Chain A
Amino acid sequence: MTTTTRTVTRPSVPSCHGDGGGEIVRDGRPVVALVGSPNVGKSSVFNTVTGARRSVGNWAGTSVEVGSGSWRSGGLDAAVVDLPGAYSLDPLSPDEELTRDLLVRPDRAELPDVVVVVVSAADLARTLYLAAQVLEQPLRVVLAVTMGDVATRRGIDVDHAALSLALGVPVVAIDPRRGRVDGLAEAVEEALRTPVPARSLRPCGCDCAPGCSCTCCAAGATADAKADPTAGPAGDAAHLAGDAAHPDGGADGLDGDDELAVADRRFARIAAAVEVATSRRGSARADWTDRVDRVATHPVAGPLLFLSVMWAVFQLTTRVAAPVQGFLDDLVSGPVSDGARWLLSAVGLGGSWVEGLVVDGVIAGVGMLLTFVPLMAIMFALLALLEDSGYMARAAVVTDRVMRAVGLPGRAFLPLVVGFGCNVPAVSATRVLPDARQRLLTVLLVPFTSCSARLTVYVLVASTFFGAHAGDVVFGMYVLSIVLVVVAGLLLRTTLLRSLGQEDLVLDLPRYQRPALRLLGAVTWTRLSAFLRTAGGIIVATVVVVWALSAIQIGERAQEPVRSSAYGRLSTAIAPVFTPAGFGDWHAAGALTVGFVAKEAVVSSWAQTYATAEPADLHQPGGLGASLRGDFERSSGGHTTAAVLAFLVFLLGYTPCAATLAAQRREIGGRWTLVGVGLQLGLAWSVAVAVFQVGRLIA
């Protein structure tokens, strides 16, 4: 197969009369021009019929892009010119000007041999306007109708035979997006065999003899023509004169009412054709969207579906992310750290505080940050999937009532749901709320959603103390989390945020659609990078600080070096605060102190305080578990269960992490963030103490 491209341009002198501008070079083959409105799929047609035999370039002397190529199909061998999309031949843009220049010219030998006008079945009336104008010119025309599938979905049925009869031209239905253009080549071949019609500028474009039975004559257009000065031979001449005169801006060169009258004639033709050739099938919204919604928005089934979907999201996130997180963790604490140590030894810094800072501080911090990435990426992607598919709107409807109880609009559920994955992106997710005070309230409530970092501690503690019932305890924590959100919400609304208005639900429910993967990727990446930017620096800095605190020794060195480090001293000083809650022990206090900065570090620093190894599997705590049991026994005076539960409750409710604080500060400002911290600490401590004191009486 040879690749031949025929150039169809010759340099031209731009003319303000619009009768120059380039000509079509003939190579002996017929020339087919492709015209049509933008967005009807004209380019797809061009690509499909020319295959590899095409090229695109600028029309000489203009900035207009024109495609040219060869169309070989069956008995057809023609040169094709793909003109830019044009709504009409009225030269309101260079694109339309060029199309007009090629189709309206005094010398008929320069005209294309066949013009294929591409129109859309889904928007026939609009896309036929160009066709109506083309049909006023002495050109062979074939109409190609695309987007039949879209039309069908909208409940519009097009009768192509009727359309052909009404307009007086061959009509072919095609689907260029799927490469189906059968029939078009034959139609063009057939058209080439017919003589060029001598069109007049009558409304119907045919040489209407008295008694003509074409559509517009039958509709009484000739009667209207009597009242219309622009119809008839005088009008034709005026029209042509208008064409040649061509002042800028005015369509057809006529003004005001004449312009309207001319356009009206074309519209009459279009209306008549549309009338006979299309039928609408009532409301054609994809049936299955409505069917799914019968469940998705149902008063009972809706919430159940919502919970299932959310459960699935979290299951998928944790199950898929966990191995990747494990891998990254191993990578950083293994080869990367070892490599760094080796490097530092090589330069003589082995064993120094520099090594500590670099390996246990910076690298460990970056490693921790990296382990966030799989979790966040998957969660963001899943949430974006739900949004793009259209389900999120239904979820907003379902959660609206519940949200309203907290004084928030339905849309606030999204950030709160995200919060169960990680609080940091949840804080930025509050941007979905248009009202600033609603955003404030939601941002202050996000920390009470139990994030996945807290989960790591729950699992460790629950496995250590509750054995087989660990799962129930963890589930209970999540329930408590929701309760805390509601309680905190009510607290805030009755005190500081009393003036918050109520916004009733009015929400558009879009059709369900297959999510666009490319968009999904883009959105996921945007959110992920925003998270890394916000939290990245803080997490790394935090780990460095904790390392430093643990490394600096204050006062007499204790038997366990950790205890006399700055970190240990600090924890010991804080510990008494937790005595009423049953865990007034420096180990626990130390863990919580670290947790104030980052929950992920709790388990590892807890292990450090006991100088035991961090358990590889949190479900089997091993040495750390044994140490924990001993300590909680002691600090709770025998009421271990109550103390453990109190500890878990405190962990749930108090400040999530420094990254969250940073995100909050960005959204609501420093002052309100501090209010939030106070709320978190206050509420967490109160509930923890209550749990212990009550639990002490029971168990």
Chain B
Amino acid sequence: MTVPSAASPLRAVLAELDAGAPTLDEVARRTGLDRGVVSAAVDHLVRLRRVDATTLASACPDDGCGTCPSSGGCGSHGTPAPAGNRPVLVALSVRRPRP
């Protein structure tokens, strides 16, 4: 069933994630939706618990605190950089509805 994306953005994004779109840019491309809308839609789907988001990260990020020599004892180490600055890898998986 093709869902007209513009009329049901959430369901369209959900469908593309389910179909295995690898990146949000790809989802935007396939649905024709604005990249910002896709991102907001995914966040809302996570809020609705339709999608699980798990952050993947290796130790010691490269920028921000990573290059700081005092990362062992720096007082400002605890404050994370604002989300816009550092890329974050998140794995999105669609939740199967309970029968």
Do A and B interact directly, with beta carbons closer than 8 Å?
yes
On A, residues with C-beta under 8 Å from B are: 87, 92, 123-126, 129, 156, 216, 219-221, 223-224, 251, 256, 259-260, 263-264, 267-268, 270-272, 274-275, 278, 280, 383, 387, 392-393, 396, 411, 414-415, 418, 425, 428-432, 434, 506-508, 510, 519, 522-523, 526-527, 530
A430 to B70, CA, bound (A): 9
User: Mask for B6-38, Cβ within 8 A of A = 1, else 0?
Assistant: 111111000000000000000000000111110
How far apart are B70's CB and chain A's nearest CB, in angstroms?
Answer: 5
* A268 near B9: Cβ-Cβ < 8 Å: yes
What are the residues of chain B within 8 A of A124 when measuring CB–CB? 36
What is the interface size of chain B, counting residues whose CB is below 8 A from a CB of the partner? 41
User: Assuming A264-B11, A425-B69, A431-B72, what are 11 further A-B pairs, CB within 8 angstroms?
Assistant: A125-B34, A224-B4, A263-B44, A270-B40, A271-B5, A271-B34, A271-B37, A432-B66, A432-B67, A432-B69, A526-B75
With a cutoff of 8 Å between Cβ atoms, the chain B residues found around residue A220 in the complex are 4, 7
Can you list the 6 inter-chain pairs with the closest CB atoms, starting with the nearest?
A429-B69, A125-B40, A126-B40, A125-B36, A125-B37, A267-B9
* Structural contact, B39 and A126, CB atoms closer than 8 A: yes
Nearest-neighbour CB distance to chain B for A47, whole angstroms, equals 21
Q: Kindly list chain A residues whose C-beta atoms are within 8 Å of the C-beta of B8.
A: 224, 264, 267-268
A413 to B21, CA, bound (A): 40
Q: Determine if A526 and B63 form an interchain contact, defined as CB atoms under 8 angstroms apart.
A: no
B17 to chain A minimum Cβ distance, whole angstroms, is 14
Contact with A along B51-85 (1 / 0, CB 8 A): 00000000110111011111111111000000001
Say yes or no: A418-B76 contact (C-beta < 8 A), given A267-B10, A271-B9: no
Measured between beta carbons, the chain A residues less than 8 angstroms from B72 are 428, 431
Whether B37 and A274, one on each chain, are in contact in the complex, defined by CB atoms closer than 8 angstroms, is yes
A510 touches B69 (CB 8 A): no
Q: Which residues in A have their C-beta under 8 angstroms from that of B50?
A: 260
CB distance from B83 to the nearest CB of A (A): 9
| CA–CA, A105 and B34, complex, Å | 34
Chain B residue at minimum C-beta to C-beta distance from A524 = B70
> Are A523's CB and B68's CB within 8 A?
yes
Shortest CB–CB separation between residue A412 and chain B, in angstroms? 11
Q: Is the CB–CB distance between A271 and B70 below 8 Å?
A: no
Return the contact of A432 from the options B34, B68, B97 (Cβ within 8 A): B68
Which residue of chain A has the shortest Cβ distance to B33 in the bound complex? A271
Chain B contacts of A519 at CB under 8 A? Answer: 76
Contacts A/B (CB < 8 Å), 19 sampled: A124-B36, A156-B36, A264-B8, A270-B9, A270-B37, A271-B5, A271-B6, A274-B34, A393-B67, A414-B67, A428-B72, A429-B70, A430-B69, A432-B66, A432-B71, A507-B62, A508-B87, A526-B73, A526-B74
Q: A125 to chain B: which residues have CB within 8 Å?
A: 34, 36-37, 39-41
Return chain B residues, CB-CB under 8 Å to A414: 67, 69
Query: In the complex the two chains form, what is the Cα distance from A396 to B48 in whole Å?
Result: 43
Contacts of A428 in B (CB 8 A): 69-70, 72
Q: Which one, A87, A267, A411, A526, contacts B41 given CB within 8 A?
A: A267
Cβ-defined contact, A522 with B76, below 8 A: yes
**Chain B proximity of A129: nearest CB distance (Å):** 7
Given A224-B7, A508-B63, A267 contacting B37 (CB threshold 8 A): yes
Q: How far is the CA of A507 from the CA of B76 in the complex (A)?
A: 22
A485, B8: Cα distance in complex, Å: 63
- In this complex, the member of A156, A251, A270 whose beta carbon has the largest number of chain B beta carbons within 10 angstroms is A270
Q: Is the CB of A260 within 8 A of B10?
A: yes
User: Which residues does chain A contribute within 8 Å of B59, judged by CB atoms?
Assistant: 434
Closest chain-A Cβ to B43's Cβ sits at a distance in Å of: 7
Q: Closest approach, in angstroms, between the C-beta of A105 and any C-beta of chain B? A: 24
Are B36 and A123 in touch, CB under 8 angstroms? yes
Q: A126-B43, A268-B9 are in contact. Are A263 and B68 (CB under 8 A)?
A: no
Q: Name the one of B9, B37, B39, B68 contacting A387, with C-beta atoms under 8 angstroms.
A: B68
Query: Do residues A274 and B36 form an inter-chain contact, with CB atoms below 8 A?
Result: yes
Q: Are B44 and A267 in contact (CB-based, < 8 A)?
A: yes
CB of B4, distance to nearest CB on chain A (Å): 7
Q: Which residues of A contact B10 (CB under 8 A)?
A: 260, 263-264, 267
Could you tell me the distance in whole angstroms from the C-beta of A232 to the nearest C-beta in chain B?
15
Q: How far is the CB of B66 from chain A (nearest CB, A)?
A: 7
- How distant is the Cα of A411 from the Cα of B5 in the complex, in angstroms? 46
Bound-state CA distance A425–B62 (Å) is: 21
A154 nearest in chain B by CB position: B84
Q: Which chain B positions have C-beta within 8 A of A393? A: 62-63, 67
Min CB distance, B37 to chain A, in Å? 4
Min distance, Cβ A522 to any Cβ of chain B, angstroms: 5
Task: Collect the chain B residues with CB atoms within 8 Å of residue A216's CB.
Answer: 7
- Residues in A with CB closer than 8 Å to B60 are 434
Cross-chain contact of A268 among B6, B62, B74 (Cβ < 8 A): B6
CA distance in complex: A281, B90 (Å): 26
Q: What is the bound-complex CA distance between A80 and B94, given in angstroms?
A: 42
What are the residues of chain B within 8 A of A251 when measuring CB–CB? Answer: 47-48
A129 and B40 in contact, given A256-B97, A271-B33, A431-B70 (Cβ under 8 angstroms): yes
Cβ-closest chain B residue relative to A395: B67
- CB nearest to B10 among chain A residues: A264
Q: Which residues of chain B are within 8 angstroms of A396 by Cβ–Cβ distance?
A: 67
CA distance A87 to B7 in the complex (A): 22
Q: Would you give the shortest CB distance from A154 to chain B, in whole angstroms?
A: 9
Contact B11 A278 (CB under 8 A): no
Q: Is A431 in contact with B6, judged by CB distance below 8 angstroms?
A: no
Q: Is the CB of A411 within 8 A of B67?
A: yes
Nearest residue (CB) in B for A530 is: B73
- Residues on A with C-beta less than 8 A from B34 are 125, 271, 274-275, 278, 280
Residues of B within 8 A of A280 (CB): 34-35
Question: In the assembly, what is the distance between CA of A86 and CA of B34, in Å?
Answer: 23
Measured CB to CB, the nearest residue on chain B to A151 is B36
With a CB–CB cut-off of 8 A, which chain A residues contact B33?
A: 271
Q: Which residues of A contact B6 (CB under 8 A)?
A: 219, 268, 271-272, 275
Residue of B nearest to A224 (CB): B7
- Whether the pair A263, B48 counts as a contact (CB closer than 8 A) is yes
Q: How far is the CB of A33 from chain B (nearest CB, A)?
A: 23
Question: What CA separation (Å) do A92 and B69 show in the bound complex?
Answer: 40
Q: How far is the CA of A280 from the CA of B36 in the complex (A)?
A: 10
Chain B residues whose C-beta falls within 8 Å of the C-beta of A219 in the assembled complex: 6-7
The answer to whether A392 touches B70 (Cβ under 8 A) is: no
Name A270's closest neighbour in chain B (CB-CB): B37
Q: Tell me whether B40 and A522 are in contact (CB under 8 A).
A: no
Closest to A392 in B: B67
Query: Would you give the shortest CB distance from A456 to chain B, in whole angstroms?
Result: 25
